[in-house]
Amino acid sequence: MIDTVVVGAGAAGLAAALELRGRGLAVRVFDAGDRPGGVARTERIEGFLVERGPNSLQVKAPALELLRAHGLEAALVPASPASRLRFVWHDGRLEPVPMGPGAFVRTPLLSSRGKLRLLAEPFVRRGDGSAESVAQFMGRRLGSEAVERLVGPFLTGVYAGDERQLGAAAVFGPLVALERDHGSIVRGFAREALRRRGGRARGLSGIWSGPSGVGGFTAQIAAKLGDAVTTNARVVALAREGDGWRVEIDRNGPGPQRAGRVVVALPAAEAASLLRPVDADVAAALRAIAYAPVASVSVAVARDDVARAIEGFGFLIPRSAGLDVLGCLFMSQLFPGRAPAGFELLTCFLGGMRAPAAVDLPDDVLLGRVQADLARTLGLRGPARLLVATRWPRAIAQPARDHVARIARLRERVATHPGLALAGSYLDGVSLADSLACGARAAR
């Protein structure tokens, strides 16, 4: 009998397996796909190094600890320092997101009234953000203009989500806690910073990728696990057997496995299907977690065809602007070796909760929309050449207003099944680093 079977070799499953391995346990990982990494997919297409899923990652403290413990820090490369520069479409122009007090005073992204409202945050009466949407919480603390012009685009960038639906406690948990504990986000920040001064474990600052993309990074994690990872092996059934678990794998994979413990590191809907015979309530709770659909469209443009200088991380489009593209990343500006000389590699996102039907559009329609929006935003005069359009019908989990309570109940229920744990981006945070940390936590 194996100590632990991990179902799914995305970031969460790989992290769970690493953590278990680090504790000297025999672990096997089974994944339905033809390579480990889950949604992390990097491909070389026509001389461009294209990300079809996640484009980069932030390296937060818990994920960094795991990577360090397994000698994987060297599998990361930082983005160019210019990646700090980010833009939001406003009033027919791309405006830099202000990164300091001087820039804040000068930025046209907020009106004078909007800026004053934002500065009044320490004097706003304490509320209770625990069951509010992000729009309610942030609107109350910072004003509706900041929500529309800054918070909304930020949430589009991370969640492809809708600030009116996303839950404040799940998305901005630390900020909700600052209001609860200090009466204000700004006051709370200042007090906590003074209290901690250098004492807290920190991640790596900025954003990162692998030398050959995010897919290369997850491949390096998988390589640490060697032949413990089996791909093309879909787990089709899971059942309690004696004091362990029986794991059935489809006919491409090895035969049934017996394991003392199982970590189910799948997207919520897939986890629900697998766990329905084990616990219908767990399955129902998993099925209720919504995901935003996203179309990721990577295009090549000739640098000479772009009127505006392409620099920095990329840009985001507020809902009210009425463009099709949600945001665009300047991939060839972020990391070296992404595009041949004279070309830029841009990755544009369409769909999300704003326009979910966009993921069903054919390539030529997606490209037409990207072309039109790049002409408006970047002054693209020539053609955008489609490298690849990747459709993700369930790309990013959307934590709802009651997400934190729901996940706590889900975990309690799962804990009634000895040796069963869940991991994945729908639990504690949607980013790749969150998924790594979640996998390690599940393993522990």
Ligand X SMILES: Cc1cc2nc3c(=O)[nH]c(=O)nc-3n(C[C@H](O)[C@H](O)[C@H](O)COP(=O)(O)OP(=O)(O)OC[C@H]3O[C@@H](n4cnc5c(N)ncnc54)[C@H](O)[C@@H]3O)c2cc1C
**Pair 136, 371: CB distance under 8 Å:** no
- Minimum CB–partner distance for residue 274 and ligand X (Å): 6
Among 56, 130, 136, 371, binds ligand X (CB under 6 A): 56
- Minimum CB–partner distance for residue 400 and ligand X (Å): 17
Cβ neighbourhood burial of 423 (10 Å; 0-12, 13-18, 19+):
buried
Q: Which is nearer to ligand X, 7 or 175 (CB)?
A: 7
Q: Which of the ranges 10-18, 107-115, 301-309, 355-363 carries the binding residues for ligand X, by CB under 6 A? A: 10-18
Among 210, 289, 424, 442, binds ligand X (CB under 6 A): 424
- Minimum CB–partner distance for residue 291 and ligand X (Å): 9
Residue 294 CB partners (closer than 8 Å, separation 6+): 160, 349, 350, 351, 352, 359, 391, 392, 395, 396
Q: Which of residues 201-260 bind ligand X (CB under 6 A)?
A: 234-235
- Minimum CB–partner distance for residue 271 and ligand X (Å): 8
Q: Which of the ranges 48-56, 76-84, 106-114, 146-154 carries the binding residues for ligand X, by CB under 6 A? A: 48-56
Q: Which of residues 147-206 bind ligand X (CB under 6 A)?
A: none
Does residue number 339 form part of the binding site for ligand X (CB under 6 A)? no
At residue 327, φ and ψ (nearest 5 deg) are -175, 165
Q: Token match 């391995």: residue?
A: 21
Number of Cβ within a 10 Å radius of residue 167: 26
Angle, vertex CA 50, rays to CA 206 and CA 252, nearest 5: 110
* CA nearest to 168, candidates 206, 144, 139: 139
Q: Give bridge partners of residue 325 from the DSSP assignment.
A: 350
Instruction: Please give the Cα distance from 247 to 238 (Å, whole number).
Output: 5
Structure-token pair, residue 417: 């099944």
Q: Which is nearer to ligand X, 45 or 302 (CB)?
A: 45
Instruction: Please give the Cα distance from 245 to 229 (Å, whole number).
Output: 18
Radius of gyration over every alpha carbon of the chain, rounded to an integer in angstroms = 22
Among 5, 186, 395, 407, binds ligand X (CB under 6 A): 395
* CA nearest to 225, candidates 399, 6, 414: 6
Q: Which of the ranges 36-44, 104-112, 302-310, 338-346 carries the binding residues for ligand X, by CB under 6 A? A: 36-44
Does residue number 296 form part of the binding site for ligand X (CB under 6 A)? yes
Among 431, 437, 442, 443, binds ligand X (CB under 6 A): 431
Instruction: Please give the Cα distance from 282 to 391 (Å, whole number).
Output: 28
Among 10, 139, 167, 327, binds ligand X (CB under 6 A): 10
Residue 173 CB partners (closer than 8 Å, separation 6+): 404
Q: Which is nearer to ligand X, 52 or 115 (CB)?
A: 52
- Minimum CB–partner distance for residue 425 and ligand X (Å): 3
Among 22, 33, 96, 393, binds ligand X (CB under 6 A): 33
- Minimum CB–partner distance for residue 219 and ligand X (Å): 12
Cβ neighbourhood burial of 433 (10 Å; 0-12, 13-18, 19+):
buried
Residue 53 in 3-state DSSP? coil
**Pair 287, 411: CB distance under 8 Å:** no
Q: Which is nearer to ligand X, 142 or 289 (CB)?
A: 289
Among 31, 162, 344, 373, binds ligand X (CB under 6 A): 31
Instruction: Please give the Cα distance from 8 to 145 (Å, whole number).
Output: 42
Q: Which of the ranges 35-43, 72-80, 119-127, 375-383 carries the binding residues for ligand X, by CB under 6 A? A: 35-43
Structure-token pair, residue 322: 């009425």
Q: Token match 């934190």: residue?
A: 404
Among 16, 18, 32, 176, binds ligand X (CB under 6 A): 32
Among 361, 432, 440, 443, binds ligand X (CB under 6 A): 432
Does residue number 425 form part of the binding site for ligand X (CB under 6 A)? yes
Among 2, 4, 6, 8, binds ligand X (CB under 6 A): 8
Among 16, 30, 163, 384, binds ligand X (CB under 6 A): 30
Residues that bind ligand X (CB under 6 A): 7-13, 30-33, 38-40, 53-57, 234-235, 265-267, 270, 274, 294, 296, 392, 395-396, 424-425, 430-433, 435
